Chain A
């Protein structure tokens, strides 16, 4: 990411793949990419990319002779973050480092808050499921969702979200990203050749979703200090645990804080502070970061050779 203008190439930096369509004058016509927690590429297809490309080409033909390209007025690069200066000059700076470095800068200025983590909300957060092969076509509208209340229906074709022209999931997420923490987001669409417009009324917390897949989350304190692999459904059954219930083996590398607390390899972690949680080990790592602070004392609930144990551990920080 060295030298990339973040004001122009402004995207979800936890993604492993994203494409931009733009003019030589840096007018962005659209984007293609995006993912959810279930998989890195389930929201992408060649047909969907082709659809977004075709829309970008149409926009290009319509506007390429115009002189109104509006590239961002300022340039910001990842090297401008203080954290970037600590890396060797020839060391790679990956996309997710933008989030890591930005978080560190905001924390240093006492301006960081957990809400910063809820970036690039999915269309499902407002009740929309989009067609993977045609990212502007509504495949499903959730009952009583902001999209349903606004009047959207299956088969509608989105035109704009928050003023951003939409041809793909990435465009829709770009528009939603600029929405308020609570309030209204303008949306326009076409149904049977007729234009429609309304506002999505989004409640407080609408941006929240499963962010456990995000690489940038790994650098966020506190760490749980316990890591390992999920039990299989059969292994859970054999222990009398529910299929979705949290249950993972502590791996062969036991961290120092976990070891000092008495946790051993192959202990099965099934909860924290007596809470029965339905989640994977990856989601558990995010759960600890989102619900506890550095220095908190937690009690992990374990199974060791079939015996139930409780082990207390302080969520200390990582060494610098």
Chain B
């Protein structure tokens, strides 16, 4: 499940952060790329500044 498969209108409306065991690098390229952050506080600052909600993903490997 990767953000680049999402409709651009949705993906670009949400600030992204990835938590958990795996840090995925920025996905895709160009205007509609999904850029994953791994710093929660930084993501909240960006969300506050841009007025966007956060999409936070936890991935855990056993």
The answer to whether A and B assemble together is yes
Q: Which residues of A come within 8 Å of B, CB atoms?
A: 1, 4, 9, 11, 13, 15-24, 26, 29, 41, 44, 46, 49-50, 53-54, 56-57, 60, 64, 92, 94-96, 215
B10 at the interface (CB under 8 A from A): yes
A-B interface contact total, Cβ < 8 Å: 86
Residues of B within 8 A of A4 (CB): 19, 58
> Given known contacts A24-B48, A46-B5, A57-B14, is B61 in contact with A16 (CB within 8 Å)?
yes
Given A53-B6, A56-B53, A57-B10: A24 touches B47 (CB 8 Å cut-off):
yes
Q: In the complex, what distance in Å separates the CA atom of A49 from the CA atom of B34? A: 15
Q: Which residue of B lies closest to A17 (CB)?
A: B59
10 A-B pairs (CB sep. < 8 Å): A9-B56, A17-B1, A20-B55, A21-B55, A22-B53, A24-B53, A46-B5, A56-B53, A56-B55, A95-B58
Task: Give which listed residue, A15, A16, A22, A41, contacts B56 with CB less than 8 A.
Answer: A22
Main secondary structure of the interface of A (DSSP, over half): mixed
Pick from B7, B21, B56: contact of A19, CB under 8 Å: B56
| A50 cross-chain contacts in B, Cβ below 8 A | 6-7, 10
Q: A18-B57, A24-B44, A50-B10 are in contact. List 7 more A-B contacts (CB 8 A).
A: A1-B60, A9-B56, A22-B56, A46-B1, A46-B5, A49-B1, A60-B53
Q: Contact between A94 and B53 (Cβ–Cβ < 8 Å)?
A: no
Complex contacts, A18 vs chain B, CB 8 Å = 57-58
Q: List B contacts of A22 (CB < 8 A).
A: 53-54, 56
Shortest distance between the CB of B61 and any CB in chain A (Å): 7
Contact among B13, B20, B48, B57 with A57 in the assembled complex (CB-CB below 8 Å): B13
B interface, CB within 8 angstroms of A? 1, 5-7, 10, 13-14, 19-21, 44-45, 47-48, 51-62
Partner of A96, one of B10, B44, B52, B60: B60
- In the assembled complex, which residues on chain A have CB atoms less than 8 Å from the CB atom of B7? 50
Alpha-carbon distance A267/B3, docked complex (angstroms): 47
Q: Which residues of B contact A215 (CB under 8 A)?
A: 62
Contact B48 A21 (CB under 8 A): no
Complex CA distance for A11 and B1, rounded to whole angstroms: 19
Contact A23 B62 (CB under 8 A): no
- By a CB distance below 8 angstroms, the chain A residues around B60 are 1, 13, 15-17, 94-96
In the complex, are the beta carbons of B19 and A19 less than 8 A apart? no
Residue in B closest to A18 when the chains form the complex, CB atoms: B58
Q: Are the C-beta atoms of B13 and A16 separated by less than 8 Å?
A: no
CB distance from A262 to the nearest CB of B (A): 32
Give the complex CA separation of A50 and B19 in angstroms: 20
In the complex, A44 Cα to B57 Cα: how many Å?
Answer: 14
**B5, B48, B62: most-surrounded residue (chain A CB, <10 A):** B62
